Amino acid sequence: MKILFIGDVFGEPGREAVKKRLPELRKERNLDFVIANVENVAHGRGVTPKLIDDLTSVGVNAFTAGNHLWDQKEIIPYIANSKVLVRPANYNAEAPGRGALLFDVYSGVKVCVISVEGQRLMGNAVDSPFAAVDRELAQVKGRADIVFVDVHAEATSEKRAMGWHLDGRVGAVVGTHTHVQTADEEILPNGTAYLTDVGMTGPYNSVIGLNKNAALTRFTKQMPAPFEVAQGDARFCAVLIDIEESNGRARQITRIQDKVAL
């Protein structure tokens, strides 16, 4: 099964890059299932039900999020019953939504998408992502043919540790949040595809998606500046992972970073 994961879709440039590039990739790569991290899709902060519908219409099947999930308040009642949007599994148990969702892709083959958020340098009070992912795996044991995990975290070490923690137990572990694509894609010894960070789908003439002049004001003058999504130089960052349905292990992993003319 060919699964495409799209890294942190940032603001309008990111949304437009997905709308333009994804339908082409579906044909070029014969994709079976598409996941996107959308915690920054609404003006760089959070996600709305309408934007989920917009991206579904161009071929995204499942959605993950992270520390900005609750920034757009209309997502709170939506996620409680959503069958496509996964929240980090290590949030408080009373938080709306689920940390794992099961998708019937084709011919009875089921994919489980799990999301967890890192504890290091993230600023949120969350439980252990390692304990949380273990709980979710126990609940889907025997029901999922393929398991795909998004680790939304700042620390490279925490993402890397998760890869080793899950090697041989899931088909893929990919990282999000830092918005900079890493070049360490590999298939770990026991068959789990791994990439520390998928990167950002959005404006690269920026500071991780934000207007670079505003970001420079914050860094050089230690003064507040508007939170403004940058424009131009759109990139589509993703990772394509081919996973064997019979045993849930990865066969191939390929990084993608395409320039998209908007």
User: What 3-state DSSP class applies to 11?
Assistant: helix
**What's the N-to-C CA distance of the chain in angstroms?**
30
Q: What's the pLDDT at 57? A: 97
Q: Specify the pLDDT at position 171.
A: 98
**Residue 232 above 90 pLDDT?**
no
- Tell me the CATH number for domain 2-260: 3.60.21.10
Name which of 38-42, 66-70, 188-192 the model is least confident about. 66-70
Task: Tell me what pLDDT residue 258 has.
Answer: 97
Contact 97, 130 (CB under 8 A): no
The per-residue pLDDT for range 102-160, each reduced to its tens digit, is 999 988 899 999 999 998 877 777 899 999 999 999 999 999 999 999 999 999 999 99
* Residue 152 appears among annotated catalytic residues: no
In this prediction, residues 83-108 reach a mean pLDDT of 95
Give the model's pLDDT for residue 89: 97
pTM for this one? 0.96
Residue 248, pLDDT > 80, answer yes
| CA distances for 182 relative to 94, 146, 162, 208, angstroms | 34, 24, 16, 14
The CA distance from 121 to 123, in Å, is: 6
* Separation CA 221–CA 211 (nearest Å): 16
- pLDDT digits 0-9 by tens, 101-111: 999 998 889 99
> What is the spatial distance between Cα 5 and Cα 64, in angstroms, rounded to a whole number?
10
What mean pLDDT do residues 72-97 have?
95
pLDDT at 210 (0 to 100): 85
* Separation in Å, CA 71 to CA 40, 51, 94, 132: 9, 14, 18, 23
Of 68, 152, 177, 179, which residue is the catalytic one? 68
- Whole-number pLDDT of residue 176: 98
Mean pLDDT of 23-45: 96
Domain boundaries, the chain: 2-260
Whether 163 has a pLDDT exceeding 80, the answer reads: yes
Instruction: Please report the DSSP string for 85-97 in residue order.
Output: EE--TTS-TTSSS
Average the pLDDT over each of 23-27, 70-74, 174-178, 218-222 and give the range with the smallest value: 218-222
